[in-house]
Amino acid sequence: MKKTIFTFCSIATVCCAIFFACAKDDNSITHVTYVSQASGGTGSNPNPNGAPSNSGYGTTTATTAATTTSQTTTTTPPSTLTINGTPTTLTGLGAPLSGYYQVTAKPSTGTNPQLALVFATLAAPPTGSYNVTNTAPTTGLCQFTFTDASGNPGSPSAGSVSVTAGSPNACTFSNLVCTCGANTYTLSGTVNY
């Protein structure tokens, strides 16, 4: 206990000695006096220390420029699907999915009928013609899956999808025959995404 008290007193004594050694007389500090300036001035600093004009002391003028920002909103037109001669409007969307690029088209309400077109690319496929397949696609192929209103999926056994890259991107197909369960459908349409 004596050792702890001695240590504390020693530290306090050293701190006090440093404090008193560093204290200075307030009269030795240089005081800044300010010059009176008439109102309606230029807004510049009155140079209270009397620094020469070549000392880097001076007036800075800030200018603010007006900035206009514009935003362009692009609306993708609805996708169209004709099933056995009956037109249907769908909403198209394209996005990367597990190493492929998938384009889907679904109704605005509900889930079916719907389309899923999968390409062997990581981004939107380039303009070109893609033969349909019912398995995972490779270069130049498009996996085409149609799900009817009852939720039955199916794929055409032959045909092609034409892709137009642009704004919006579009996949167009015509007269693809697809069997879903006990029903057979002839599909034509354009999916915008």
Burial class from Cβ neighbours inside 10 Å (0-12, 13-18, 19+) for residue 83 reads: middle
DSSP class of residue 111 equals: S
| Mean pLDDT, residues 174-183 | 96
The proportion of the chain whose per-residue pLDDT surpasses 70, expressed as a percent, equals: 62
In a 3-state reduction of DSSP, which class is residue 85?
coil
Angstrom distance (rounded) from CA 120 to CA 14: 77
Residue 72 confidence (pLDDT) above 50: no
- For 146, the token pair is 């149609």
Take residue 121 and report the two structure tokens written for it: 């690319």
Question: In this structure, which amino acid lies at residue 67?
Answer: T
Q: Which two tokens stand for residue 144?
A: 């085409």
CB 122 within 8 A of CB 99: yes
Residue pair 154/146 in contact (Cβ under 8 Å)? The answer is yes
DSSP string of 34-72?
Answer: PPP--SS--S----TT---GGGT----------------
DSSP string, 119-166: ESSSSSPPSEEEEEESS---TTEEEEEEE-TTS-EE-BSS-EEEEE-S
Query: Higher-confidence residue: 165 or 65?
Result: 165
Task: Please check the confidence at residue 129 and state whether its pLDDT lies above 60.
Answer: yes
First to last CA, the chain: 81
The more confidently predicted of residues 85 and 6 is 85
Structure tokens at 162: 């034409």
Listed residue (153, 74, 174) closest to 191, CA to CA: 174
pLDDT confidence bin for 76, thresholds 50/70/90: confident
User: Is the entire prediction scored with pTM above 0.75?
Assistant: no
